[in-house]
Structure 1
Amino acid sequence: MRVMGLDYGDRRIGVAISDAFGWTAQGLEVVERRKDESEYGKIAELVRGNEVSEIVVGLPKNMNGTIGPRGEIAMAFAEKLRELLNIPVHLWDERLTTVAAERTLLEADVSRKKRKQVVDKMAAGLILQNYLDANIRR
């Protein structure tokens, strides 16, 4: 079974998925957030289609480790996923993952337009890979 990583943002949700062994993370896609909350249905579809057994949601903490308003929103999102999907949903410290993803894309000389399209799924991949590395399942 695979693990899914999610980078929950104001407009988009970056999605990453692990390999079948839970060793590596790959960016999968970006799900647009909607007023009708149809993003939950899209995530459920991805969970079923990829045989996901658990989800990791990035938890944006302040640099001093406290949880602010954005963290509370991510926690509510994770709780709703738990209720809807009935699988384990973990929160994982995501401090600076989007910054790291942006930096990597800048160093690779990716255009601003293309960076905007992939930064969220790349950040989701970093969140998931950090989680996988800390919870090796060999």
Structure 2
Amino acid sequence: MTRLLGIDLGQRRIGLAVGDTESGAARGLATIARGETERDAATLARLVREQRVDEFVLGLPRNADGSEGPQALVTRAWAADVLAGLRLPVAFRDEYLTSVAAEDSLGRTPRGRSGGPPSRAALDRRRGAVDREAARIILQAELDVRRGVRS
């Protein structure tokens, strides 16, 4: 059995999910604030120990035509800086439209108490949930491929 940590890298936050090849199921784990390289590496190292992770699956932003743009280069550089030091294999999985799928999966944005706009705290919680769900979708796609399941 291989334990995997799915990662949805954003500019401000990092969505995380865990899963394993035995169950073939992924679940959202956490959303962390993206910081300096050393801080991101330390946080991920702690999670690797706690979750007994064997491999990373990192969402790779691609264009609609499948090509890699500037954000894919940023993602690959982050992986080289942060994940390489943790000495675990890294699989890249196309993340095209995963945030849209995550939004759809979670349903509509909640309203505030009086039916008006949600509070800043509610929006932050929602964004974190979207990032976790996007990481779960990325990881589930990888697990499905490994199990020979078409999605």
TM-score (norm 1): 0.89
Structure 1 residue 48, shift from structure 2 partner: 1.1
User: What's the counterpart of residue 130 of structure 1?
Assistant: 141
2-side partners of 1:37 and 1:119: how far apart? 25
1:10-49 superposed Cα distances (whole Å, 9 cap, x missing partner):
0000000004725100000011112464111101110111
Q: Indicate the structure (1 or 2) with the bigger Cα radius of gyration.
A: 2
Does the residue aligned with 2:133 lie in a helix, a strand or coil?
Answer: helix
- Contact 1:102 1:115 (C-alpha < 8 Å) held by counterparts: no
Distance 1:103 1:73 in 2: 26
Once residues 83 and 33 of structure 2 are traced to their aligned partners in structure 1, the CA distance between those partners, rounded to angstroms, is 20
The Cα RMSD (Å) is 1.9
Q: Give every structure 1 segment of 4 or more consecutive aligned residues whose post-TM-superposition deviation is greater than 3 Å.
A: 109-112
Q: Distance in 1 between matches of 2:40 and 2:134?
A: 18
Aligned partner of 2:115 in structure 1 is none
Q: Does residue 44 of structure 2 align to residue 43 of structure 1?
A: yes
CA contact (8 A) 2:15 2:128 kept: no
Q: Aligned partners of 1:16, 1:116: CA distance in 2, in Å?
A: 15
Task: Give the unaligned 5+ runs of structure 2.
Answer: 112-117
- Determine the structure 2 residue equivalent to 1:118: 129
Contact 2:13 2:128 in 1 (8 A): no
Q: Deviations over 1:74-126 (max 9, x none)?
A: 1112223442111101111000000100122225x645624223100110000
**Measured at CA, do residues 122 and 59 of structure 1 come closer, stay the same or move farther in structure 2, by a change above 3 Å?**
same
How high is the TM-score relative to the length of structure 2? Answer: 0.82
